[in-house]
């Protein structure tokens, strides 16, 4: 199991455009936990990562006990950590123990930072067809009961129940086998369904690891967990959630974080990031849902797009005069047009129209998309200006120019002639669980603190503004079309 390292400056530059930055090296990360404004995740071998913004990660999280594959959850005003002390073939055997411990805080610099004595909640003897390692924990929001799934390829995935007040095993609780052919499992609940996420494939072989994350669901936390074609995970079923991609392989150890209604992310590790020496690294991706099934979205990286309103499908654009394109027309009634050569019609260019635009601020509006320069936006990540869980802020400018989309003090949107890096010109872009996006200014001038309420909003078919985010309204949602 790998120790955490300091990322070389040259690698940080490479990673900044498409991954968590800093030193995001970890194996078997726990679900991300928030404590006093910082984010924490813990990994195999002890320790873990800390981030102040959810984007730049560095070592510094502390937990005793070593072992493997911890998970963590906040219950009331305390944090419960669960981890495997041995097992998983570590040291050559499958005799394992899973333990729990509590802390008031995750901040190792806090005077309240003190882990309680670890308590064993289950074990495997190394001879049975089971392996007590890789625990994942769920506090059932409907009943308040606390459940743990654990196990590896060596045998079954099992389910046990803990007391949420003590972290001890519920007296008389009997473990139940619920899956096979996976490991590093986790449990989540959504809309009346319990989901069992399992890591399938081969582990711990760097660029040759085939880890991927699969899922089944059940109306009962005790199963049976069936996949999208009705296969029971106890008989090897499982629908794909995320696999290798983007020069990264070995997706494992799922965790879910709910940021807002309709805004969720999944955390996991890549067994090997090809651009970071094939190291095991933390990953954070949008968590999307389709027909009741979770799947991993792609991290938004920017590009040049039409920004399309989900409300009606119209495009965000500059409020400038429409400049007609000159075209040699061939009427449909011309019987000889089949004899004429076909000539592509060139797109209207920025040089064709920019001289007709005002020089100062130009308001934004929404209109029919026509491939025109005033409707083409280049979106680029901005480093060094803060971040949010899983991504950095972006600037949004008209393609080929420095004209930047900007929030105003009266909660409107306009464009200014030049991007300056001001906070009101920085935009938080998050993919929602239905696949659309919300676009939020980092700040609204005159309002204190980072904006977490107001988003780009289609108040009418042609009127963009800033209004409170509402996942249940298409007015809050946008799409990026790469035409």
Place of tokens 């200006």: 385
The token duo for 121 is: 């909640």
Q: Check if the beta carbon of residue 319 is closer than 8 Å to that of residue 313.
A: no
Question: Catalytic amino acids?
Answer: 28, 183
The token duo for 26 is: 């970890």
What is the number of other CB atoms lying within 10 angstroms of the CB of residue 258?
13
CA separation for the pair 351, 374 (Å, rounded): 11
SS3 233: helix
- DSSP labels, 94-127: -EEEEEEEEES-S-TTSTT--PPPPEEEEEEESS
- DSSP labels, 340-368: SPP-PPPPP-HHHHGGGS-SS-EEEEEE-
Q: Extract the runs of DSSP E, i.e. beta strands, from 129-247.
A: 136-139, 146-150, 157-162, 176-179, 183-190, 193-200, 212-218, 239-242
Q: How many residues does the chain have?
A: 483
The token duo for 19 is: 């991954």
Sheet holding 95-103, edge to edge: 68-75, 78-84, 95-103, 119-125
CA separation for the pair 220, 454 (Å, rounded): 38
């Amino acid at each position: 199991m790998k120790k955490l390292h300091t990322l070389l400056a040259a690698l940080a530059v490479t990673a900044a455009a498409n991954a968590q930055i800093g030193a995001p090296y970890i194996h078997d990360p726990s679900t991300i936990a928030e404590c006093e404004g910082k984010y924490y995740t813990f990994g195999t071998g002890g320790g873990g990562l800390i981030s102040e913004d959810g984007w730049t990660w560095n070592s510094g999280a502390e937990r005793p006990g070593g072992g493997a594959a911890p998970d963590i959850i906040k219950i009331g005003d305390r944090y419960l950590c669960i981890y495997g002390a041995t097992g998983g073939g570590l040291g050559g055997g499958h005799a394992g123990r899973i333990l729990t411990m509590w802390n008031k805080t995750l901040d190792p610099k806090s005077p309240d930072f003190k882990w309680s004595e670890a308590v064993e909640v289950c074990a495997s003897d190394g001879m049975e067809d089971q392996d007590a390692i890789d625990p994942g924990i769920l506090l059932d929001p409907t009943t308040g009961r606390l459940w743990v799934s654990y196990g590896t390829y060596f045998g079954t995935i099992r389910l046990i129940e803990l007391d949420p007040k003590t972290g001890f095993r519920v007296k008389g609780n009997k473990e139940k086998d619920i899956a096979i052919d996976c490991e590093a499992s986790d449990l989540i609940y959504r809309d009346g369904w319990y989901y069992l996420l399992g890591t399938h494939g081969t582990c711990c072989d760097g660029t040759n690891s085939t880890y991927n994350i699969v899922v089944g669901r059940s109306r009962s936390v005790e199963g049976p967990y069936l996949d999208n074609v009705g296969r029971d995970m106890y008989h090897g079923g499982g629908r794909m959630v995320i696999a290798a991609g983007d020069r990264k392989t070995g997706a494992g150890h799922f965790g879910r974080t709910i940021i807002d209604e309709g805004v969720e992310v999944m955390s996991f590790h890549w067994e090997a990031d090809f651009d970071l020496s094939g190291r095991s690294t933390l990953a954070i991706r949008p968590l999307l849902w389709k027909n009741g099934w979770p799947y991993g979205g792609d991290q938004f990286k920017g590009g040049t797009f039409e920004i399309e309103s989900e409300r009606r499908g119209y495009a965000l654009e500059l409020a400038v005069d429409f400049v007609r394109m000159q075209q040699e027309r061939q009427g449909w009634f011309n019987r000889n047009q089949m004899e004429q050569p076909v000539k592509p019609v060139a797109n209207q260019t920025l040089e064709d129209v920019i001289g007709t635009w005002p020089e100062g601020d130009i308001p934004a509006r929404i209109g029919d998309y026509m491939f025109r320069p005033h409707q083409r936006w280049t979106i680029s990540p901005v480093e060094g200006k803060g971040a949010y869980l899983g991504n950095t802020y972006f600037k949004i400018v008209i393609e080929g120019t420095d004209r930047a989309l900007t929030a105003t003090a009266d909660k409107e949107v306009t464009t200014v002639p030049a991007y300056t890096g001001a906070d009101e010109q920085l935009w938080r872009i998050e993919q929602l669980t239905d696949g659309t996006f919300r676009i939020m200014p980092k700040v609204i001038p005159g309002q204190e603190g980072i904006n977490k309420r107001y988003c780009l909003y289609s108040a009418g078919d042609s009127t963009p503004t800033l209004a409170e985010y509402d996942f249940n309204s298409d007015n809050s949602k946008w799409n990026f079309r790469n035409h």
